[in-house]
Every structure is written in C-alpha cells, then in structure tokens.
Amino acid sequence: GTTCARVGCMPSKLMIAAAEARHHALHTDPFGVHLDKSSVRVDGAEVMNRVKSERDRFVGFVVEDVMAWDESKRIMGHAKFIDEHTVQVDDHTQIRADRIVIATGSRPVVFPQWQALGDKLIVNDDVFSWDTLPESVAVFGPGVIGLELGQALNRLGVRVEIFGLGGLLGGISDPVVLQEAVEIFGAEMTLHLDAQTETQLTAEGKVQVRWTQEGERGTFTADYLLAATGRRPNVDNLGLENLPIELDARGVPVADPHTMQTSIPHIFIAGDASNQLPLLHEAADQGKIAGDNAGRFPNVQAGLRRSLLGVVFTHPQIATVGARFATLQAQYGERFER
C-alpha cells in the first residue's frame, strides 16, 4: 500500500518541484526579473535529502495506519494459495477464509538483456534512494514514469536521453497530439522514440547505449540506465495454479471491473495486482469495492467507478480523459473520425 508514497507519484512530484524551481530561475527574463543565471546552482545531495525526507513522512502515515491494527490481524510473510479457501504464509501460518482479497501490488519490468549492467541498472524505486544526483542517465521507456523523471532530471542539470520503441510518448495515441508532444519535448530533451539499441558496460563502469533509428546511429554513455518500461502485477508466486481461476494472457486473474470479483465468486482482486488501471485513485476505488463486496458476499454490488483519467506531470502536462484514441479506433475502425 505504499507504492505511490514510497517510489511513485509522491516522491516523483518532489523531484519535479525541485526541477521546476531551477527551470523557473533560469527563465525569469520574460517577466522583467533578471537573475545571474550562472549563480543558479543545484546541490544534488540537498535535493535528494528533501525528496527522501518528505517521502519517508508520506510513507509513515500509511505505516502508522497499518500498525494501528490489532497485532493478531497483521501476519508477515509470503502468502500462497493452497486451495480456494486456504492460504499458507511461509511455513508458520495457515489461514482459512470464506472470502479473500488479492491486493499484492506490482513491480517494475526489467528486460533480461539489461541484467549484465549490474548496479548501473536502476528502476524508479532506486532513483528515490540516491544520495545525490548523477551526471547522466539513459531512460528506457518514454511513458508516464520515464517522461516525468526524464524531464525532471534534465531540468536539474542531469544529461538525459530517452529511448523507446514504436514512436509513442507519454501514453499518447492520437497522432496529431503525439506529433505536437514530440516536437515540444524533443526541443528540450534528446528523444529516440523508435530506436534499436544495444547496451554494455564500459571499462570505466559506465553504461554505453548504441542506438539506430531511421538510418541514423549514435552512442550515449551514462552513469545509469533507468528502466521505466512498465510494471508487472505481483501474482506470479501466489499459487494461482492451485485454483480453478480464470487468468488473462499475462497470468492475472480476470475480474469484473465493477465488483472486482474473479471467476471464483468469493475471491476478489484490487489495485495494481488487477492489471486494470495502475493508478493510485483507481487502486483506492478498487480496494473499497473489493473490500465492501468481500464483506457483504454473496450479496455483491457494483461500485461507483470514475471516468478514465490519466495525467503526466510534465511541462506541459499531458491529460487523457475517457476512452483513448487507440481504443476508439480499434473499436470503431473506419467509422471512427477525430
């Protein structure tokens, strides 16, 4: 329950706030405020100290709530299904329940070919544990996380290049909006949005990225490779193979988005684990719906869901409301017009 506060939306906004402070200080002239730009200095250690301090404060609120529960209700360990009503926690506790809610969250996706980079391979979780800012970062994944962190680091004076496949940026699928976004962000950062890449460690312990895109070739050497290539639901070690439960192509239990009920009526799933909408407000809504229906089972009822809303906290910001362009195009084909 601390992904957002610990390694997600909250600490990233703290880093973005620091980046905006420097960016504004460097662009005051149009307002008639003239500063000595050479005096604008970023202390990476101070930036990260504030990020971590506030991050720990945010996480503390969640931890306090959990620790307030009766100790007998807090069981620590790895839980695994034995059957539809029984969960084994490590080798010390077996729990039998009439209703069960799966809320195991998600983890970053890291491609196998990057493992050879060792500790030079990082995910967003690692960024918020830095003691100071690096000199350079190669960001793989131009989605929400990659674009937010990439721009923030760039504005804090870190050399950043962003790599992707398929030409997408910030989750935008409308081609007109996408083209505009590529031009705007490309004017500030180096983007390789449809590049073939090879990575290796140099003798100096740096990450070397060799890229090819539309006939052009190049090399970028960085202190770290930041993998921002999505997140995976934490359901692969839950013993789901012991259940007659319907799974999707990624091995995630299929659930009704209005009740969060899986194909096994008394088992519910919520949050990032459901692989439906990995957003904090959606996870909170799903948790309320799943918990309420688990409590009232078998008299489940549909919960109130929001219109699909997604925001990328960059400058300029990117927002999507309702069905996305690609979804409408796939659904209506030639009948769909912008």
**How far is 73 from 82, CA to CA, in rounded Å?**
20
Q: Average pLDDT, stretch 300-306?
A: 92
Tell whether 180 is covered by a domain.
yes
pTM equals: 0.91
Tell whether 330 is covered by a domain.
no
Q: Tell me phi and psi for residue 142, to 5 degrees.
A: -90, 35
Q: Which residue from 270, 261, 264, 260 is spatially nearest to 243, judged by alpha carbons? A: 264
Taking a C-beta distance cutoff of 8 angstroms, is the pair 133, 44 a contact? yes
Token pair 């009740």 is found at: 259
Tell whether 65 is covered by a domain.
no
Q: State which residues form the domain around 15.
A: 3-55
Domain end: 231, 246, 270, which one?
Answer: 231
The span from the first CA to the last CA of the chain, in angstroms, equals 39
Q: Could you tell me if 144 and 99 lie in one domain?
A: no
Report pLDDT for 310.
86
Report pLDDT for 324.
87
pLDDT, one tens digit per residue, over 24-51 is 999 999 999 999 999 999 999 999 999 9
Asked whether the CA dihedral 253, 259, 263, 264 is positive or negative, the reply is: positive
**Domain containing residue 279: CATH number:** 3.50.50.60
Q: Could you tell me if 131 and 278 lie in one domain?
A: no
Percentage of the chain modeled with pLDDT above 90: 80
| Candidate from 81-85, 280-284, 298-302 with smallest mean pLDDT | 280-284
Asked whether the CA dihedral 90, 250, 124, 260 is positive or negative, the reply is: negative
Q: Could you tell me if 117 and 222 lie in one domain?
A: yes
**Domain containing residue 43: CATH number:** 1.10.287.990
Q: Could you tell me if 98 and 133 lie in one domain?
A: no
Domain end: 165, 196, 231, which one?
Answer: 231
Is the per-residue pLDDT at 4 higher than 90?
no
| Rg (the chain; Cα; Å) | 22
Q: Could you tell me if 85 and 117 lie in one domain?
A: no
Q: Average pLDDT, stretch 162-170?
A: 96
**Of 323 and 5, which is predicted with more confidence?**
323
> Which CA distances in Å does 216 have to 195, 197, 212?
10, 12, 6
Looking only at the bridges linking them, the beta strands covering 86-89 and 207-213 are unpaired
Is the per-residue pLDDT at 337 higher than 90?
no
Q: Could you tell me if 146 and 209 lie in one domain?
A: yes
Tell whether 69 is covered by a domain.
no
Token pair 């990450």 is found at: 207
Q: Could you tell me if 92 and 194 lie in one domain?
A: no
Is the per-residue pLDDT at 1 higher than 70?
no
Categorize the per-residue pLDDT at 258 as very low, low, confident or very high, splitting at 50, 70 and 90: very high
Tell whether 66 is covered by a domain.
no
Q: Could you tell me if 131 and 165 lie in one domain?
A: yes
Q: Average pLDDT, stretch 183-209?
A: 97
Q: Could you tell me if 129 and 224 lie in one domain?
A: yes
Tell whether 84 is covered by a domain.
yes
Strand partners, 193: none
Domain count, the chain: 3
Q: Average pLDDT, stretch 282-308?
A: 94
Other Cβ atoms closer than 10 A to 84: 15
Mean pLDDT of the chain: 94
Q: Average pLDDT, stretch 267-286?
A: 91
Tell whether 335 is covered by a domain.
no
**How far is 214 from 165, CA to CA, in rounded Å?**
12
- For residue 171, give the DSSP letter: T
pLDDT, one tens digit per residue, over 210-243 is 999 999 999 999 999 999 998 999 999 999 999 9
> Which CA distances in Å does 199 have to 119, 140, 146, 213, 338?
14, 11, 18, 15, 40
Angle, helix 9-25 to helix 144-155, in steps of 10 degrees: 40
Q: Could you tell me if 87 and 125 lie in one domain?
A: no
Tell whether 83 is covered by a domain.
yes
- Which residues lie below 8 Å from residue 157, measured CB to CB, with a gap of 6+? 22, 42, 133
Q: Average pLDDT, stretch 39-64?
A: 93
- Which residues lie below 8 Å from residue 213, measured CB to CB, with a gap of 6+? 192, 194, 195, 196
Q: Could you tell me if 227 and 116 lie in one domain?
A: yes
Structure tokens at 84: 């539809």
**Of 334 and 148, which is predicted with more confidence?**
148
SS3 169: coil
Q: Could you tell me if 238 and 95 lie in one domain?
A: yes
Domain end: 216, 231, 246, which one?
Answer: 231
